Amino acid sequence: MAYKFDEHDASDLSRIIRRRRPGWNHNGIMGQLQQAAERGASLGQVTAAAERTWMNPKAKTPAALLWPEHWEDTKGKALNMSGERLCSGCDPARKHPVSEMVRSTSGSWFCRECAE
């Protein structure tokens, strides 16, 4: 059974993240973790994404906690999360449910219509 990620978990995980990334602002970390919780992420998913984030040298700010590459399983498949993303192909950019998005080999996200 997956445990739902909540505000107490976010507070605990924020302390761990700040030990690994001492220059990151607590409020910024909490804001990103709150978004993950709102998307329905489990405790395990958020913890794994946080570890991938603090280990990524390109991750310079807490905003990186929600980068798609930090939310993939070990086979490169996006984890099942609700929420929306901006499509890189739509003009003007539009949001689509994550479940309806595909990721290109370059790392950009596209709606099904733009991916075809």
Same domain, 34 and 48: yes
Residue 8 to residue 112: CA distance in whole angstroms = 36
Same domain, 17 and 38: yes
User: What is the per-residue pLDDT for 19?
Assistant: 94
Record the pTM: 0.63
pLDDT digits (tens, 9 = 90+) for 61-77: 999 998 888 887 644 55
Same domain, 74 and 94: no
pLDDT digits (tens, 9 = 90+) for 41-68: 888 889 999 999 999 999 999 999 988 8
| Per-residue pLDDT at 24 exceeds 90 | yes
Q: How many domains does the chain have?
A: 2
Residue 98 half-sphere exposure toward CB, CA atoms < 13 A: 17
Q: Which domain holds residue 2?
A: 1-80
